[in-house]
Amino acid sequence: GAVVPVFLQVRLGRWLPLIAGVLGAAGSIALLLYKPSYLIFVLAVCGFNFMWNFFLPFLMGSVSDMSEREIMSVAVALQMTGLGLGPFIAARILGENGDFQTMMIVTVVLLLVSLALLLFAEGHRRNRWSRAN
């Protein structure tokens, strides 16, 4: 998944693959919501991992365009913090009952909210840039 952006960015730009990647990752998780077969489970897990590695370079490139300041170090630090806090938060949501249904819904919602926030930030950046030029 991480090699594909090298070839697609020139042809498709950044935003179409980024949006498709986030929606594909959310869709992969959504496939797990209704007691999937083993085949669907494997396809969903592989699809999510592929999509995550696919859209991450586009995401980091988009973040780097958001500001003239050094924001990449903050973005990477936040990503790593999320990788560390994610299992803790998931364990709190799962609780003792192990309600994976809720965890998957939260994951899909958070992916969609993050995409909406990123698109909002990009719109703000473009408006600011067009006013400056």
| pLDDT single digits (tens) 62-79 | 777 776 667 777 878 888
- Per-residue pLDDT tens over the stretch 21-59: 899 999 999 999 988 899 999 999 999 999 988 888 888
Q: Are 45 and 60 in contact (CB under 8 A)?
A: no
CB atoms under 10 Å from CB of 24, counted, come to: 19
Answer yes or no: are the C-beta atoms of 40 and 31 closer than 8 Å. yes
DSSP conformation class of 108: H
pTM above 0.85, yes or no: no
